[in-house]
Amino acid sequence: MKDSQTGKDSLWQRLWSPSARWSVGALLAAGIVIGVVGWMGFDSALTWTNTEQFCLSCHEMRDNVYQEYRGTIHDINRTGVRAVCADCHVPKPLIAKLVRKVKAAKEVWGKATGSVDTREKFENERIRLALNEWKRMKESDSRECRSCHVFDAFDLARQQKRAQVKHTEAETSGETCIDCHKGIAHRLPAGAYEAEAEFNKKWAQSHKR
């Protein structure tokens, strides 16, 4: 037992003793280089998982919601500015992005277990998935929408009359984008209106002051 403890003490001393071969400056520089290279690799991998190509590598996405997205205003428009999957479904701030990626592990599990690997299975789960996304966007004040759409930048005079009224009301009442724009890029699931009413009721009850 004593020999084991002595061995641990010796290892600990070797780890923290100055190197006979390398200077402290060299070790520090090597650590910085390794850290920078590691971070660049991590950032590149994170960026790759945000690409449309990565999202469509799962047929569940490619054959379902992506087909509905095609041809919408977020896909094709007069300015040629496209919003791909990650623009709407992945936060831009680093910490929020990492949290979202960790939560997305559940989606990987769904892929691995085949819980939505057919159209029928996907449709059966669709209202639950939609509710999860509505809740996420509501809680973040439609953060991803606001990466592109900012109330202060709206030129209301160039909007349709109904949009002018609704956007003005939303800004003054504290409503958020997802309150009115559910289904803007994907078809609303069966039972969406009933589910939305129940969702709004529960949200109002849980946020009463």
Q: What is the pLDDT of residue 85?
A: 94
Residue range 25-51, pLDDT digits in tens: 777 888 899 999 999 999 999 999 999
Q: What is the mean pLDDT of residues 9-15?
A: 64
Neighbours of 124 (CB within 10 A): 14
DSSP 187: P
Domain shared by 63 and 157, yes or no? no
Domain shared by 71 and 163, yes or no? no
Q: pLDDT band for position 11 (50/70/90)? A: low
Q: What is the pLDDT of residue 23?
A: 73
> How far is it, in rounded angstroms, from Cα 45 to Cα 74?
25
Domain shared by 68 and 162, yes or no? no
Domain assignment of residue 66, yes or no: yes
Residue range 88-100, pLDDT digits in tens: 999 999 999 999 9
Q: What is the pLDDT of residue 120?
A: 93
Q: What is the pLDDT of residue 111?
A: 85
Domain count, the chain: 2
Domain shared by 127 and 50, yes or no? yes
Q: What is the mean pLDDT of residues 7-34?
A: 72
Q: Which domain holds residue 57?
A: 31-144
Domain shared by 38 and 120, yes or no? yes
Domain assignment of residue 173, yes or no: yes
Domain assignment of residue 5, yes or no: no
> How far is it, in rounded angstroms, from Cα 111 to Cα 117?
7
Residue 209 pLDDT > 90: no
Domain shared by 105 and 55, yes or no? yes
> How far is it, in rounded angstroms, from Cα 177 to Cα 7?
62
Residue after which a domain boundary falls, among 144, 174, 203: 144
Domain shared by 108 and 129, yes or no? yes
Domain assignment of residue 23, yes or no: no
Angle (deg, nearest 10), helices 105-113 and 94-103: 20
Domain assignment of residue 41, yes or no: yes
If you write DSSP's letter for every residue of 49-76 in order, what string do you get?
TTSHHHHTTSHHIIIIIHHHHTTSTTTS
If you write DSSP's letter for every residue of 9-30 in order, what string do you get?
HHHHHHHHSPPSSS-HHHHHHH
Domain shared by 55 and 114, yes or no? yes
Residue after which a domain boundary falls, among 144, 173, 202: 144
Gyration radius of the chain over CA positions:
25
> How far is it, in rounded angstroms, from Cα 91 to Cα 137?
10
> How far is it, in rounded angstroms, from Cα 49 to Cα 45?
6
Domain shared by 108 and 169, yes or no? no
Domain shared by 38 and 127, yes or no? yes
Residue 22 pLDDT > 90: no
Q: pLDDT band for position 54 (50/70/90)? A: very high
Domain assignment of residue 190, yes or no: no
Residue range 85-144, pLDDT digits in tens: 999 999 999 999 999 999 888 888 888 899 999 999 999 999 999 999 999 999 999 999
Q: What is the pLDDT of residue 171?
A: 87
Domain assignment of residue 24, yes or no: no
Residue range 165-200, pLDDT digits in tens: 999 999 888 899 999 999 899 999 989 999 999 999
Q: What percent of the chain has pLDDT over 70?
A: 90
The C-alpha angle with vertex 196 and arms to 194 and 197, in degrees rounded to 5, equals: 65
Q: What is the pLDDT of residue 162?
A: 93
Domain assignment of residue 156, yes or no: yes
Domain shared by 60 and 121, yes or no? yes
Tokens describing residue 164: 């002018």
Domain shared by 171 and 134, yes or no? no
